[in-house]
Amino acid sequence: MLDNFFITTALISGFVYFYGLISLLMKENLGLSEPLIGTIYGIAIAIFNRYETFSFFKNVERNKNSMVEADSIMKELSRIVVSLQVVAVGLVLPKSYITKEWKSLFVILVPLMLATYFISSIFALYIFKFDIKLALLIGACVTPTDPVLAATIMKGKFAARYIPKHLRNLLTAESGANDGLGSLLLAFSIFIGEKDWKKMAIKTILIDVILSITIGATVGYICRKMQLFCKQKNWIDKESFLVSMISLGIFVTAITTLCHSADILASFVCGIAFSWDHRFLKDIKKSHLLEVIDMLINHVFFILFGFFVSFSSFKVSYIWYILVVIFIRRLPLFLGCYKVVPQLRNLREALFAGYFGPVGVGAILFAYHGYDQIKDKNLRGIDEFLPIVQFVVLGSIILHGATSLIITKLMSIKKEKNQDAKKFAISSDFHTSDSKNENLNDNIENATILDIRKKYLAKKILQSNKNNDTF
């Protein structure tokens, strides 16, 4: 067993190192996401491991007991991964974003999310002919947008170049919030049809919603005040300050899990409460510590996910459901309702937001949690529940991971000619006060019609004006 541990460590750390050498090539040139590469690597290890000559792991069989242990590992690892990601979402959102853009978030998180849930459930019922409860559970698992996969699309220079800032903020906020609200859909799917469903519904509202929000908001607020006090007294060094961001997410997850509450919702609220006044945001962004830890954990998760996917359980009908989830569950809804979502400013942005609703780590967590609640019930198709969700996640990783670069470029606003950068610079009235220069920085960030050369020219003119003001 100890040999297997070090073999696993070598395989994962080796991948992280060698992938890091060509990461920019993979992401910017080939348009392949980190989860996609990690999953393919995990699948490759699993394939080689089946042959005794190339087997990495000795005395390891994919029997029932080993798969139960694997499921337990994946469940708890997915819990940590999602919790850290939603805390990060809460930390990096613009100041008071939830209250300022409540209308857009309300439309996406209530009517559109409910419609997505019912569409996913109805197609699961139609394609697989399962019991209604199981179809609703599958729908609840695949409804939320995954914050981990969404982050791979919304972060980086490529996203900043092609995706408008307001759209990035909207989809980032959605991915963090709807994973928390998705736990309510999961709870509804579990207790529907039960004799004591009223009692379970009250428990869900009190514990999964109210208690989660209370814990998250309280911990986030108290930690923010403590952090600020210690920083003002100069009691905390920079390294400890940054590490506390990570421990905050794990702490909230542990507390809410012990209380049998919705840990993802609590983590998201905690991140928002902690960074409400954005006093620490500059330090967090400068350090890139969250991104580094997040990347390491994501690599581990997706490699293990690829290794443990059971291809022997695959059925052709899964392909049809994967296509439904990716192309039908939310795309038509966003195209039809984008005019009532202020942050979706045109049809192109609605098309982008409707397509990029990836299913990932959160779905895995919900699937394992849901399975634990219904595994003793005699439901038709229960043995296919976990494989279906796993293959939907795999399909989303492949399709969204491989098409992100192409679709993002197609959806981006067409670039103008190079000399338009000069027109942009002149029209923005560069040689004025510092306040206008600050507005210019915002214009440069939000002006997605400018390519890198235009941004470079605009910033050079801004720097020149600042130098002239100095003299």
Query: Which band of pLDDT confidence, cut at 50, 70 and 90, is reported for residue 68?
Result: low
Query: Which band of pLDDT confidence, cut at 50, 70 and 90, is reported for residue 455?
Result: low
Element containing residue 155 per DSSP (H, E): none
Q: What pLDDT score does 429 carry?
A: 43
Q: Return the DSSP state at 144.
A: S
Query: Using an 8 Å Cβ cutoff, are 38 and 299 in contact?
Result: yes
Query: In the chain, what are the domain boundaries?
Result: 66-298+314-411, 420-470
Q: Return the DSSP state at 143.
A: S
Cα–Cα distance for residue pair 132/139, rounded to 1 Å: 10
Pick from 4-8, 48-52, 277-281, 282-286 the range whose average pLDDT is largest: 4-8
- Residue range 57-78: average pLDDT? 67
Amino acid at 59: N
For the record, the structure tokens of 458 come out as: 């605009």
Q: pLDDT digit string (tens) for 194-204?
A: 777 777 778 77
Q: What pLDDT score does 434 carry?
A: 41
- Residue range 9-26: average pLDDT? 88
Q: What pLDDT score does 137 carry?
A: 95
Q: Which of 359, 340, 358 is nearest to 350 (CA)?
A: 340
Which percentage of the chain shows pLDDT scores above 90? Answer: 28
Q: What is the CA radius of gyration of the chain?
A: 23
Between the two ends of the chain, the Cα-to-Cα distance in Å is 69
* 53 contact partners, CB below 8 Å, separation of at least 6: none
Cα–Cα distance for residue pair 313/299, rounded to 1 Å: 24
77-81-86-90 Cα dihedral, nearest 10 degrees: 130
Among 85-94, 106-115, 308-317, 366-375, the least confident range: 85-94
- Residue range 80-103: average pLDDT? 84
Query: Using an 8 Å Cβ cutoff, are 345 and 95 in contact?
Result: no
Cα–Cα distance for residue pair 163/449, rounded to 1 Å: 10
418-419-424-426 Cα dihedral, nearest 10 degrees: 150
> Does 207 have pLDDT greater than 80?
no
CATH architecture of 66-298+314-411: Up-down Bundle (1.20)
Q: What pLDDT score does 66 carry?
A: 53
